[in-house]
Structure 1
């Protein structure tokens, strides 16, 4: 049986304190045509929040996005974009809202994958150990890597869907061409046969 020494306890406790002030949320939603989906986060002054999103399916792979403060003022707005990143630092306490709108489309639903990650503000004075600062930086770096991996996965899925759709269209186009060719050949044979046919008079 292994034994955790006091130094290990200190490292684990420091890691806990470093990870505690962060939050990460990952979602995949379907935004119906002519509708919008909104979410919110309750933040305090100096809290940081970043929203990254990627449209993975539907129409032209675009969506409208905006981020508002507790008073309803727009902090960020993006129109008809496939992917985007919005970062902000809370200037006041309250509920910050972010929305994905598919109101520009009346027929096609959109599939959106998005991550919300942030850092709860902690007053860093000189008493914080250097190892804790390094662990916090490492945690932020891991969050960035996770976002990049999810972005790559969505892009791969989008490209695969495009390739499969193109392959399906080529297949059905080839089948349609073959059917039309056989019909034309059959009509030509029938026409030539009737043209050279000798009519008998009774």
Structure 2
């Protein structure tokens, strides 16, 4: 009986793990987009009623590392509006079915292009039959998949922050270097001018 139970459980476990890996590859979508100055970039998701969708974003490069972010429903009603934010998380729970829009705007910037990294979780989840029997093994695997998603997002956040800090440090070092070169050039110019002036002054005194 024990051998039979194991034989029955093993295919179910393999199927559950396979399905979880498929969910891991499809349910969470991660993207990177560059938003030009004085421009906005929008994306669309066709969602069902109560289809929970989580949108997470962060600005990795460009200017002050900020964008405007907003979400609107199929009737163009504004659900969320954030000005000049570097990162954010928005949970969308649709009250009506249809096309939902979320945008990243760089209208405030005149010269700086912004690099925005964002992920969307839940938009590709298939509908669940409420009458279906929930498999405990599948529940555990799904929970594991959600934890892996969270770890991946945290890792991506750390990588993006490190890149932003490195770019800031390199930019600061470059400015310090150019300022030092400018000061050196000014000092050399002043010294040359003083030498020329004193030499010319003594030559005039000698002629007199």
Q: Return closer, same or farther for 1:135/1:124 CA change in 2, 3 Å cut-off.
A: farther
Residue 138 of structure 2 is matched in structure 1 by 132
Structure 1 residue 145 corresponds to structure 2 residue 151: yes
CA distance in 2, matches of 1:27, 1:98: 13
Structure 1 residue 43 corresponds to structure 2 residue 43: no
Residue 106 of structure 1 is matched in structure 2 by 110
Q: Return closer, same or farther for 1:156/1:82 CA change in 2, 3 Å cut-off.
A: same
Secondary structure, aligned partner of 1:196: helix
Structure 1 residue 93 corresponds to structure 2 residue 97: yes
Q: Return closer, same or farther for 1:165/1:171 CA change in 2, 3 Å cut-off.
A: same
Per-residue CA distance 1:66-112 (angstroms, 9 max, x = gap): 11122222222211101001111222221111111112223322111
Q: Over the residues paired in the alignment, what is the CA RMSD in angstroms?
A: 2.0
Give 1:6 deviation, angstroms.
5.3
Residue 189 of structure 1 is matched in structure 2 by 195
Q: TM-score, normalization: structure 1?
A: 0.88
Give 1:60 deviation, angstroms.
1.3
Residue ranges of structure 1 left out of the alignment (5+ in a row): none
Q: Which structure has greater helix proportion?
A: 2
Match for 2:63 among 53, 59, 62? 59
Give 1:8 deviation, angstroms.
3.3
Q: What are the residue-to-residue correspondences of 1:113-124 with 2, within 5 Å?
A: 113-118=117-122, 119-123=125-129
Give 1:46 deviation, angstroms.
2.2
CA distance in 2, matches of 1:165, 1:70: 43
Q: Return closer, same or farther for 1:142/1:84 CA change in 2, 3 Å cut-off.
A: same
Q: Return closer, same or farther for 1:102/1:74 CA change in 2, 3 Å cut-off.
A: same
Give 1:178 deviation, angstroms.
0.9
Q: Return closer, same or farther for 1:140/1:121 CA change in 2, 3 Å cut-off.
A: farther
Secondary structure, aligned partner of 2:184: helix
Residue 166 of structure 2 is matched in structure 1 by 160
User: Number of residue pairs matched?
Assistant: 197
CA distance in 1, matches of 2:141, 2:15: 11
Which ranges of 4 or more aligned residues in structure 1 deviate by more than 3 Å? 5-8, 16-22, 123-126, 198-201
Residue 3 of structure 2 is matched in structure 1 by none
